[in-house]
Amino acid sequence: MAEFDPKVLAERPISPPAEFSRQARVKSLDEYRRLYQRAVDDPESYWAEQVRLLDWAVPPTRVLEWNPPFARWFYDGKLNVAHNCLDRHLADKGEKVALLWEGEDGSQRRFTYRELHEQVCRFANVLKSLGIGRGDPVALYMPLIPELPVAMLACARIGAVHSVVFGGFSAPALADRIADAGARLLVTADGGYRRGKLIALKEAADAALAHCPTVEKCVVVRRTGKPIPWQPDRDLWWHELVPRAAPHCPAEPMEAEQPLFILYTSGTTGKPKGVLHTSGGYLLQCTWSTRLVFDLREDDVYWCAADIGWVTGHSYVVYGPLSNAATVVLYEGAPDYPQRDRTWEIVERYKVTIYYGSATGIRSFMAWGDEWVSRHNLSSLRLLGTVGEPINPEAWKWYHRVVGKGRCPVVDTWWQTETGSILISPLPGATPAKPGSATLPLPGVVADVVTLEGKPTRPGETGYLIIRRPWPSMLRTIFGDDERYRRDYWGRIPGAYFTGDAAQRDDDGYFWVLGRVDDVIKVAGHRLSTMEIESALVSHPAVAESAVVARPDEIKGEAIVAFVTLRAGVSPDSDLRNRLSDHVAAMIGAIARPAEIRFAQGLPKTRSGKIMRRLLRELAQKGTVSGDTTTLEDLSVIERLAQQKGEEE
């Protein structure tokens, strides 16, 4: 694989602000290294210390039972996840605001911990009245409204296993996931809002349920008030059930290995892949990482902008922050509706102190122009985070300079649906940041970059990112398919968890994640990381965002096709196309020069902000898209790109 541009590897570290470090939980790189080494030397003792972050009905005496690739963490302990997120805070923080919700239409709701606790208890009693109990799967197909975390926590309270299905999925995708989980109950809504449009969730749910005989009842939240189809023998209104239910429901102690949720990974083809997470280890590492990575404080107003339909929303909207008694902002809609400053308007209104957003979202903000940010007073912000795809150095620097005004540390976090929680990230008061690098593993996480034979790579050499030791929040299996779990994650590189990501380490041991290993283009025998080419393109001052894919080439095997979104005020033309090609060649080498650069007003993305390169690959190779577009937020993006190609020809 190609090596990184040496100018990237030579990025100068940016030290945390001295004032931030003085008050941080981990105050220096030396302190981090001592913590890290202690966890490496005696991992079981380290994690045994961390169990005190949670309330246990039966404190565990055992830390780990490891029969590769199957782990059981804290397996003789018992706890309740909802108790840890709610009940234990009531004595001294019952009146603290737990949730600040804003709808896309401007409606607002707020819940104290006491109020949220009551709603969770009531819905837990509703679940029990419908025959749902420990181990029963419950599917949740909802917009980003408070009833979604309420339903999740209600399931956790009684030991039901929730499976949140992203509200942007189509009826067939929903049906596949309900069927795979064997859900007995579906919780949905009459609809939701996205960019001012009504999303007809109930209609999609009805179409899905026609193929899901395991579902006995469907509970519907009234969000829009619009007329919807109704099956009286199956459908039930949330607003009729919940007020009638008792406001108290015991939080039942669960074994630490009690399944908590199944989450189906995005971009799945064929049989859905349900990642199974359990209770004790998952909650512990979410709680612990939220405190460390975001340096969470009592008075913080914390906003993770992810949809709860993805793992980031599970771990860092619901479980991690609420377990830490944080005040959480939840926003229903699009970041650019009705204008491109909606995000910064919310930050200013609620005086958000911690903002955690996707790398693709940040690149969109950058493309829209600084003026949308500068309209607002963002002085409340003290910490910024990025998640999802690797962030290129140029976007990192823009985020740090324009949004954070150079005074907010940026935590660039690496993790996956399967890992459950953040594994590689700066600690904001301790780790000097390098723009574009996730920096160093958290204590207790043993990561490496290796060849397929498992040999460590040299600094600057591309290899495969692996995790060498089990960690508490790791997935336990693929639901219903232990063999697939064993093969896909533990069978590629002996003795290690295979992340599927390509990465490099630099001379300081920092990790630079390049993207999925299948995001590689082989041009005339040379393997090139698409992330490297994209990073080179975005480093040009005219470019806001890019996505690079391959198309077949009779001579070179594969040719590089780049889709490019330009910054505000920059006009596309053939001269710019040539300059961008020259820029890539200068940054990486002539072999990386794109065969084709196509300008785009926007790139196809899921609502979680991930670029759908699969669709771009299909467009580059065939000129049309026939594959699954159910997770695509805006179908017109693909239509415009296909039309543009026709016009160019």
Q: State pLDDT tens for residues 556-573.
A: 778 899 999 999 999 999
Higher pLDDT, 646 or 82: 82
Domain membership flag for residue 582: yes
Q: Is residue 1 predicted with pLDDT exceeding 60?
A: no
For the chain, the average pLDDT equals: 92
State the pLDDT at residue 247.
Answer: 98
CA distances from 388 to 268, 505, 619 (A): 17, 19, 23
Q: Summarize pLDDT for 353-381 with one digit per residue, the tens.
A: 999 999 889 988 999 999 999 999 999 99
Higher pLDDT, 404 or 632: 404
Domain end: 255, 276, 297, which one? 276
Residue pair 468/496 in contact by the 8 Å Cβ criterion: yes
pLDDT above 70 covers a percentage of the chain that reads 94
Closest to 50 in 3D by CA, of 256, 287, 258: 287
pLDDT above 90 covers a percentage of the chain that reads 77
Structural domain boundaries, residue 153: 42-276
Q: Summarize pLDDT for 448-460 with one digit per residue, the tens.
A: 999 989 999 999 8
Q: Summarize pLDDT for 311-325 with one digit per residue, the tens.
A: 999 999 999 999 999
| Segment 87-101 mean pLDDT | 98
Confidence grade of residue 138 (pLDDT, cut at 50, 70, 90) = very high
State the pLDDT at residue 246.
Answer: 98
Domain end: 276, 306, 324, which one? 276
Q: Is residue 3 predicted with pLDDT exceeding 70?
A: no
Dist. CA 397–CA 471, nearest whole Å? 32
Domain membership flag for residue 321: no
For residue 540, give every residue at least 6 positions away whose Cβ sits within 8 Å of its Cβ, in sequence order, or none.
Answer: 579, 580, 583
Confidence grade of residue 490 (pLDDT, cut at 50, 70, 90) = very high
Dist. CA 169–CA 167, nearest whole Å? 6
Closest to 180 in 3D by CA, of 259, 256, 254, 276: 276
Q: Is residue 526 predicted with pLDDT exceeding 70?
A: no
State the pLDDT at residue 649.
Answer: 45
State the pLDDT at residue 320.
Answer: 98
Q: Is residue 532 predicted with pLDDT exceeding 90?
A: no
Q: Is residue 2 predicted with pLDDT exceeding 60?
A: no
State the pLDDT at residue 529.
Answer: 73
| Segment 327-353 mean pLDDT | 97
Q: Is residue 6 predicted with pLDDT exceeding 80?
A: no
| Per-residue buried b or exposed e for 114-153, using 16+ beta carbons within 10 Å of the residue's own CB | ebbbbbbbbbbbbbbebebeeebbbbbbbbbbbbbbbbbb
Q: Is residue 18 predicted with pLDDT exceeding 50?
A: yes
Main-chain phi, psi angles of 588, to 5 degrees:
-115, -40
E strands, 286-429, in order: 301-304, 327-331, 354-358, 383-387, 410-412
State the pLDDT at residue 268.
Answer: 33
State the pLDDT at residue 525.
Answer: 56
Q: Summarize pLDDT for 165-213 with one digit per residue, the tens.
A: 988 888 888 999 999 999 999 999 999 998 899 999 999 999 999 999 9
Closest to 297 in 3D by CA, of 254, 347, 353: 353
Q: Is residue 269 predicted with pLDDT exceeding 60?
A: no
Residue pair 575/609 in contact by the 8 Å Cβ criterion: no
Q: Summarize pLDDT for 284-307 with one digit per residue, the tens.
A: 999 999 999 999 999 999 999 999
Domain membership flag for residue 614: yes
State the pLDDT at residue 618.
Answer: 85
Domain membership flag for residue 281: no
State the pLDDT at residue 9.
Answer: 62
State the pLDDT at residue 629.
Answer: 61
For residue 93, the one-letter residue type is: K
Domain membership flag for residue 158: yes
CATH number at residue 621: 3.30.300.30
Q: Summarize pLDDT for 234-256 with one digit per residue, the tens.
A: 999 999 999 999 999 999 999 99
Domain membership flag for residue 139: yes
User: Which range is least confidently modeled, 149-158, 255-264, 375-384, 387-396?
Assistant: 387-396
State the pLDDT at residue 190.
Answer: 97
The residue whose two tokens read 């679940």 is: 127
Closest to 434 in 3D by CA, of 33, 4, 36, 1: 4
Most confident of 272-281, 532-541, 601-610: 272-281
CATH number at residue 260: 3.40.50.12780
User: Which range is least confidently modeled, 104-118, 452-466, 630-644?
Assistant: 630-644
Confidence grade of residue 221 (pLDDT, cut at 50, 70, 90) = very high
Higher pLDDT, 523 or 467: 467
**pTM summary value:** 0.86
State the pLDDT at residue 270.
Answer: 47
CA distances from 537 to 109, 354, 533, 572, 645 (A): 42, 29, 6, 14, 20
Domain end: 276, 306, 321, which one? 276
Q: Is residue 266 predicted with pLDDT exceeding 70?
A: no
Q: Is residue 141 predicted with pLDDT exceeding 60?
A: yes
Give the chain's domain count.
2
Domain membership flag for residue 379: no
Domain membership flag for residue 482: no
